[in-house]
Amino acid sequence: MEFNEVINKRRTSREWSDQEVDFETIKRILAAGMKAPTWDHYRNWQFIVLHTKEEKEKAFAYAKYIADKFDTGRYENRKLNLAQEMYAYAMPRQYTMLVNCPYVIVPLFKCSRLNGEWVSKLNPLTSAWCVAENMMLAVINEGLGYSLRIPLNKEHDIVLEKLGVPKGWMTPCFIGVGHPKEEERILEQYDSSPEGHIHMGGWRRK
Ligand SMILES: Cc1cc2nc3c(=O)[nH]c(=O)nc-3n(C[C@H](O)[C@H](O)[C@H](O)COP(=O)(O)O)c2cc1C
């Protein structure tokens, strides 16, 4: 696929067809992740790949708890902005968007404790996000779709413990990979044009 086509086609998917994904495709996606820029040159990232339904159900039980307790009624019969519409659509799907696709990738980076005092202190996490973004774009390039969940607070440790990850490793996110359902609703987005976001030479008040 041409680069701009990948950029323009990228979106987050949350519903899947039953079609399988070839493991060779997953390996190409992981290879794209490994090509990401890195803060320390080592590229010491690891990837847990979940494929069976049992593995995914076990790993993401906490996401099920969150999706199940989400009160959809809270958003009914009121005017929502686009961000609220997205939230109301995405929240009930936080578990199914992971367990119903063929593969979930859990990228891991070495870090015992996050330190957000300065942006540079977050370089291990930031590099892991570069890995994640490379993989998301590679997924689109393969003609597939991805779902993305960031573990909510303690969900991070719960999932990594279930996956047997040793202490000293963290994940930025869980990435589901599959064939998006053709009829999936595509929600309207805010304008992504850079017009109105550019400040030539320094910050300018509008
Ligand atoms: C840092 C980050 C965290 C996100 N967390 C979640 C998440 O936990 N669950 C989810 O369904 N989508 C999540 N998303 C996806 C956003 O909802 C999505 O990117 C946004 O609504 C724009 O839609 P698009 O990706 O289809 O362009 C996340 C995206 C980013 C960049």
Closest ligand 1 atom to residue 83 Cα is 21
Residue 150 CA, ligand 1 centroid: distance in Å: 8
38 conformational bin, left if phi > 0, alpha if psi -120 to 50, beta if neither: beta
Cα separations in angstroms, 166 against 46, 129, 161, 163, 179: 12, 20, 8, 9, 32
Query: Between 155-162 and 61-69, two packed helices, what is the crossing angle to 10 degrees?
Result: 140
Position 206 scores a pLDDT of: 66
What distance in angstroms lies between residue 186's CA and the mean position of ligand 1's atoms? 13
Report the pLDDT value the prediction gives residue 204, as an integer from 0 to 100.
83
HSE value, Cβ hemisphere, 13 Å, CA-based, for 148: 13
Domains of the chain (ranges, CATH numbers)? 3-178 (3.40.109.10)
Please name which of 152, 140, 150, 151 lies closest in space to residue 177, comparing C-alpha atoms.
140
For residue 74, the model assigns a pLDDT of 86
Whole-structure pTM over 0.95, yes or no? yes
Mean pLDDT taken over the chain: 96
Residues ≥6 apart with Cβ < 8 Å to 111: 124, 125, 168, 169, 170
Say what the pLDDT of residue 180 is.
98
- Dump pLDDT digits (tens) for 148-203: 999 999 999 999 999 999 999 999 999 999 999 999 999 999 999 999 999 999 99
List residues near ligand 1 (CB under 6 A).
Answer: 11-12, 86, 90, 94, 148-150, 189
Instruction: Using 50 as the pLDDT threshold, list the residues of the chain that sit under it.
Output: none
Query: CA 31, 114, 161, 96: dihedral to nearest 10 degrees?
Result: -60
Cα separation, 2 vs 4, in Å, equals 6
